[in-house]
């Protein structure tokens, strides 16, 4: 009997989707179904997906509805208890599902699981840097306390019991960019995270993706929905302020003055270290210069919500 439903949302991932699917089909733990949602790709993604002859693979085609809608479509079609997400250009270690299953057996009362992530560049792999130490393979974390440096949830390392959606709801389709962060916050408010401190998922780095991102305040979460929660939840407030800081920098770099003022005015500067306070008040030309240097060195000026 299958345990996992793996959901991959795909839009124009021709250079990557074959490797991504193979990383799932080659899992050492094989009790899963794979649902690939082709969201109106105009390249050869669909042809590559259809070239796989495996009865665990199911293909759904939608008409360019966006990442949130296509993920929701895949989740609603899932037949198994646990949902595992993977982006169409990312990769899993062959033991990803095996390690997750081990932690599910160790903590059967828990509902949300994740693993360490690494950024995969053309010539090297860079492990994500988390703000905590973990001595055991599986450990229970408060999402907000453990995600101040790097989020412990990502759209290629998250596995959850489908039953949590009755509490959290599905991905918000009205948010075009940052929908993952919105979902992670809803999960973190209600559930702890069982985290595996092994790198079992790999995020492919696309050069210049940070500097070329078009910023639109209307398409990003503004965290207003969580103000009542953060008033009585210190870790959530600090987490949101770190995200507001990142969004404020993005706003300034993209010349969105109104968005910059909005995010800056809604964060408590006491929740930022000195270096972040300095960056937040730095002129745009300084930030752009630092962004270019960091990009060339394959580093980040700030942590984007994943």
Q: Is the dihedral of CA 118, 119, 123, 124 positive or negative?
A: negative
**Residue found by looking up tokens 């997906």 in the block:** 49
Give Cα 34 to chain centroid, integer Å. 19
Q: What are phi and psi of 42, to 5 degrees?
A: -105, 0
Q: Which residues pair with 199 in a beta bridge?
A: 116
Under the banding of pLDDT at 50, 70 and 90, the label for residue 302 is: very low
> Among 7-16, 126-135, 142-151, 210-219, where is mean pLDDT lowest?
210-219
Under the banding of pLDDT at 50, 70 and 90, the label for residue 243 is: confident
Per-residue pLDDT, 207: 59
CA 248-254-258 angle, 5° bins: 55
Per-residue pLDDT, 53: 97
Average model confidence (pLDDT) for the chain?
Answer: 90
Q: Has residue 295 got a pLDDT over 60?
A: no
Each residue's pLDDT tens digit, 59-112: 999 998 999 999 999 999 999 999 999 999 999 999 999 999 999 999 999 999
Q: Tell me the mean pLDDT in the region 186-206.
A: 95
Per-residue pLDDT, 297: 45
Q: Which two tokens stand for residue 76?
A: 């609603």
Under the banding of pLDDT at 50, 70 and 90, the label for residue 305 is: very low
For the chain, which domains are there?
Answer: 4-204 (3.90.550.10), 217-296 (no CATH)
Q: Who's near 241: CB < 8 A, 6+ residues apart?
A: 267, 268, 271, 272
Per-residue pLDDT, 208: 46
Per-residue pLDDT, 206: 63
């Amino acid at each position: 009997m299958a345990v996992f439903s793996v959901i991959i949302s795909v839009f124009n991932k021709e250079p990557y989707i074959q490797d991504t699917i193979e990383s799932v089909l080659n899992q050492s733990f094989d009790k899963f179904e794979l649902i690939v949602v082709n969201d109106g790709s105009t390249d050869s993604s669909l042809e590559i997906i259809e070239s796989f002859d495996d009865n665990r693979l199911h293909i759904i085609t939608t008409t360019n509805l966006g990442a949130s809608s296509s993920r929701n479509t895949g989740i609603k079609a899932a037949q198994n208890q646990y949902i595992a997400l993977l982006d169409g250009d990312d990769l899993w270690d062959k033991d990803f599902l095996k390690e997750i299953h081990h932690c599910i057996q160790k903590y059967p009362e828990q509902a949300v699981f994740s693993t360490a992530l690494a950024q995969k560049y053309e010539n090297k792999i860079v492990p994500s840097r988390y703000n905590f130490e973990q001595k055991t393979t599986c450990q229970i974390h408060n999402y907000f306390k453990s995600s101040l440096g790097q989020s412990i949830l990502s759209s290629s390392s998250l596995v959850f019991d489908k039953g949590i959606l009755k509490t959290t709801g599905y991905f918000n389709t009205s948010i075009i960019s940052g929908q993952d962060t919105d979902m992670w916050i809803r999960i973190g408010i209600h559930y702890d995270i069982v985290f595996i401190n092994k790198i079992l998922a790999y995020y492919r780095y696309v050069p210049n993706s940070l500097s070329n991102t078009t910023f639109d305040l209307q398409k990003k979460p503004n965290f207003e929905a969580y103000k009542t929660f953060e008033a009585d939840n210190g870790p959530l407030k600090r987490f949101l302020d770190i995200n507001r800081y990142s969004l404020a920098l993005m706003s300034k770099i993209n010349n969105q003055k109104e968005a910059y003022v909005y995010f800056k005015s809604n964060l408590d500067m006491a929740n930022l270290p000195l270096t972040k306070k300095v960056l937040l008040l730095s002129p745009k030309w300084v930030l752009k210069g630092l962004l270019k240097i960091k990009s060339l060195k394959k580093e980040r000026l700030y942590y984007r919500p994943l």
